[in-house]
């Protein structure tokens, strides 16, 4: 039976670029499917959870469709990739929308860039959102980093950043006025703030690594 990858669709954002990128790099015979059906997510061999929009809207859509429970089941034992908002809502809470309760897969919170950037010394100014190309410094080894050079460039679009409660979760750091966690991981779950489907060779290699990953971390 062909391996399957489910891309979680909670009704926000165009997922076509994620689909096309995964189809391009996955092993022959892999079935890649965008779906809002919790049963499809449960039945897939691997799950990709991309996201954009506001945290409260994301969580509201997940709960309305039952995708929140399907995601919480998937992170228990499937190779799982969270992307952008799909990374942020894996934490416990977000400062967005006056405070949003998230999925709680990782301990920690999501914070607004403006709060930290306002405290920078005079003369250092950074626009919000953080948008465009920036580097990720790999701070931990992981199968999804295989073949990706240190300090490779990835494409970002976000106004909030992850602050994990456990430093051991941090697998990548990016500097934007402050050093923030741009990749997190534990066991079979890997999450990245940038958009790998828009990140040229480095991003495609990360997706290829995921499509072949069995969820084990040496």
Per the residue annotation, which of 84, 130, 142, 208 is the catalytic one?
Answer: 84
CA distances from residue 130 to 51, 55, 106 in whole angstroms, order as listed: 16, 17, 23
Identify the pLDDT of residue 135. Answer: 98
Name the active-site residue from 58, 102, 197, 208: 197
Residue from 130, 158, 195, 208 carrying the catalytic annotation: 195
What the block records as the tokens of 103 is: 């999925």
How many other C-beta atoms are found inside a 10 Å radius of the C-beta of residue 132?
A: 10
Known catalytic residue at 195: yes
- All domains in the chain, ordered by first residue: 4-212 (3.40.50.880)
Over residues 58-111, the pLDDT tens digits come to 999 999 999 999 999 999 999 999 999 999 999 999 999 999 999 999 999 999
Q: For residue 119, what are the contacts with CB-CB under 8 A and spacing of at least 6?
A: none
* Mean pLDDT estimate for the chain: 95
- Report pTM: 0.96
Q: In the structure encoding, which two tokens stand for residue 208, read together?
A: 């290829």
């Amino acid at each position: 039976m062909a391996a399957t990858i489910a891309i979680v669709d909670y009704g926000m954002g165009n997922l076509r670029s994620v689909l096309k990128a995964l189809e391009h790099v996955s092993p022959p015979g892999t079935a890649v499917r965008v779906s809002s059906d919790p049963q499809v997510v449960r039945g897939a061999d691997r799950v990709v959870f991309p996201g954009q929009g506001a945290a409260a809207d994301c969580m509201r859509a997940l709960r309305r469709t039952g995708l929140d429970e399907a995601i919480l089941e998937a992170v228990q034992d499937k190779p799982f990739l969270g992307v952008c908002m799909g990374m942020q809502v894996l934490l416990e809470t977000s400062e967005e929308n006056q405070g949003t309760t998230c999925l709680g897969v990782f301990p920690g919170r999501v914070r607004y860039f403006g709060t930290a950037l306002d405290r920078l010394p005079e003369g250092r100014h950074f626009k919000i959102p953080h948008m465009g190309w920036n580097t990720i410094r790999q701070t931990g080894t992981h199968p999804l980093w295989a073949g990706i050079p240190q300090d490779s460039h990835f494409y970002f679009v976000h106004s909030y950043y992850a602050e994990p409660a456990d430093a051991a979760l941090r697998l990548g750091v990016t500097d934007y006025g402050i050093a923030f966690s741009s990749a997190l991981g534990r066991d079979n779950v890997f999450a990245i703030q940038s958009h790998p489907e828009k990140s040229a060779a480095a991003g495609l290699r990360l997706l290829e690594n995921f499509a072949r990953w069995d969820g084990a971390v040496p």
